[in-house]
Amino acid sequence: MEGTLLKWTNYYNGWQLRYFVLNEKGILSYYKSSELIHEGCKGSCLVLACELKTHPHDPLRFDLIIPGEQFFCLKAKSQLERQRWIVALGTCKSRGTISESTISSNFSSDPKTSQLVSHLSAINDELKLKVQELRLYETVLMENLHSIKSIVNETPTPDVKRLDEKTSMLSVTCDGFIQTLDQCVQLATGQSTRKYSSNVSLHGDQHISTNRSFATELPLINSSTTTNPLSKEMIYQTFLTQFHSKLSQWKSLTLKEISSNEFLSISEEFLHFFELLNRTQFAFLRTNINESISMLKTPLKTMPDKASTVFDLLTNEISSETNIEKKFPILFLQRIFRFLCKFLIEFGHGDKTIEESLNKAYGQTLKRFDQWNRRQLFAIAFQSAVSNEDFFRSLCVDSNHSHEVLFEQQVLNEMIQLGNDLNALIKKIDSFYSDHQFKSDEIHC
């Protein structure tokens, strides 16, 4: 089987069209295009050694995985096309006809060939692979059944064409499931003696690593001019996702249209962000943020009609009549937002540690407003901040995602996006200060 699929290349280039060829020997190779096959393949893998997975949320995506070695993230043009590839790859795994001599002859130039062959002859993992295939078919079957149920329940009349397509896919999947189940029975009863390894790695030019170096080797992205491919497709739910979904809506709104309650709610949620960095050492900052939020909640209770929007809160704050105590909680929160904005974008570029990013952000924002003793508190907090790995892990909604290939790349991208969202809000407040000739830079709060 052969055809065009989208392949995830790296964080910078995103999804790219590639031409894939699955030959009769069970080797999947890909080329830049069908016209450039003569230039040789860009990479390949032994399908028998791979784990085949469908994506839980994307009906067009499927992955070929050799744990700890290689990772092909692929997308088809349609669900039907994905189904054909899954069936072809599953059938290839079911046949299991690849021999050691075949691998040696096809990859004699690979320096790891002898090691791969020894693994193939030493590890009997076929039954495990078949069980993985059954789980794959189970997932696809459930997807098809849910789709059919949804179409049948449509009113007033179901879409017959879509129903035929889904039932055809269901039939093919059932055939694959039954065939694989039969082979599992044969293996379990000792009717097969073939031995394979799930750790075989036949590398191409787009090897993807799951460690931190993958992100740090990527080119830096100018957040103001470049849109990362993942910005249109967030695969995982993270701690940051909730902020982006809320703040992105404010970009098109004026300060008179942003609710005070929503503004304070976002500010409170950012408290948890500092807990992720280090709950104990950032306690002083969380206390300051809480105090500012409490001050802003007072006018909401005492004069709700004059404090319903962020514009109202700012107006009250710069007014000598209403702000008798000369306290500036929104100005303080804006400075915290600016600090966070700088940190998110610095770390989002993927070339710094948490401590380095915090120090650089602080130097560009809060430092000039702080006295020596407060600067020392920040220095201690930054030194005790969590490691990059622990930080990524803390952002997971589902802890199982922290080790997946694309999770870290999505988090870095979300940080840049969230930084841009915060910057838009900061600019709105700056414009307010400028319009009202309020010299915010001269105030220490």
Beta bridge partners of 3: 20
Distances from the Cα of 16 to the Cα of 189, 342, 385, angstroms: 44, 31, 37
213-442 shares the fold of 2-188: no
Q: CA 286, CA 343: separation in Å to the nearest integer?
A: 17
User: What are the pLDDT digits (tens) for 199-249?
Assistant: 333 333 333 333 333 333 223 333 333 333 333 345 677 888 777 777 888
Quote the radius of gyration of the chain (alpha carbons, Å). Answer: 28
User: What are the pLDDT digits (tens) for 113-145?
Assistant: 455 545 444 434 566 666 666 766 777 777 778
Q: How sure is the predictor about 437, in pLDDT bands with cuts at 50, 70 and 90?
A: very high
Position with higher pLDDT, 225 vs 5? 5
Report the chain's mean pLDDT, rounded to a whole number. 77
- At residue 141's C-alpha, the angle toward residues 17 and 94, to 5°, is 70
Single out the residue of 74, 92, 101, 99 nearest to residue 26, CA to CA.
92
Going by the DSSP 8-state scheme, the letter that residue 387 receives in this structure is P
User: What are the pLDDT digits (tens) for 364-388?
Assistant: 999 999 888 788 889 888 988 999 8
Count CA within 13 A, CB hemisphere, residue 295.
22
**Has this prediction a pTM greater than 0.75?**
no
Mean pLDDT over 254-274 rounds to 91
Q: CA 445, CA 433: separation in Å to the nearest integer?
A: 16
Distances from the Cα of 235 to the Cα of 303, 307, 388, 404, 410, angstroms: 43, 38, 20, 11, 8
Q: CA 414, CA 403: separation in Å to the nearest integer?
A: 17
Supply the CATH classification number for the domain 2-188.
2.30.29.30
Q: Quote the pLDDT of residue 106.
A: 52
Going by the DSSP 8-state scheme, the letter that residue 32 receives in this structure is S
Homologous superfamily assigned to 213-442 = Glycolipid transfer protein (1.10.3520.10)
Dihedral, 376, 377, 379, 384 alpha carbons, nearest 10: 140
Contact (Cβ atoms closer than 8 angstroms) between residue 426 and residue 341: yes
Mean pLDDT over 162-176 rounds to 74
Encoded amino acid at 400, one letter: N
Domain parsing of the chain, residue ranges = 2-188, 213-442
Q: Quote the pLDDT of residue 235.
A: 65
Q: CA 347, CA 87: separation in Å to the nearest integer?
A: 42
Q: Quote the pLDDT of residue 403.
A: 65
Q: Quote the pLDDT of residue 166.
A: 74
Q: CA 268, CA 289: separation in Å to the nearest integer?
A: 8
Q: CA 7, CA 19: separation in Å to the nearest integer?
A: 9
Q: Quote the pLDDT of residue 127.
A: 63
Position with higher pLDDT, 69 vs 194? 69
User: What are the pLDDT digits (tens) for 309-368?
Assistant: 999 999 999 987 777 778 899 999 999 999 999 999 999 888 789 999 999 999 999 999
Position with higher pLDDT, 334 vs 91? 334
Mean pLDDT over 156-167 rounds to 75
Q: How sure is the predictor about 197, in pLDDT bands with cuts at 50, 70 and 90?
A: very low
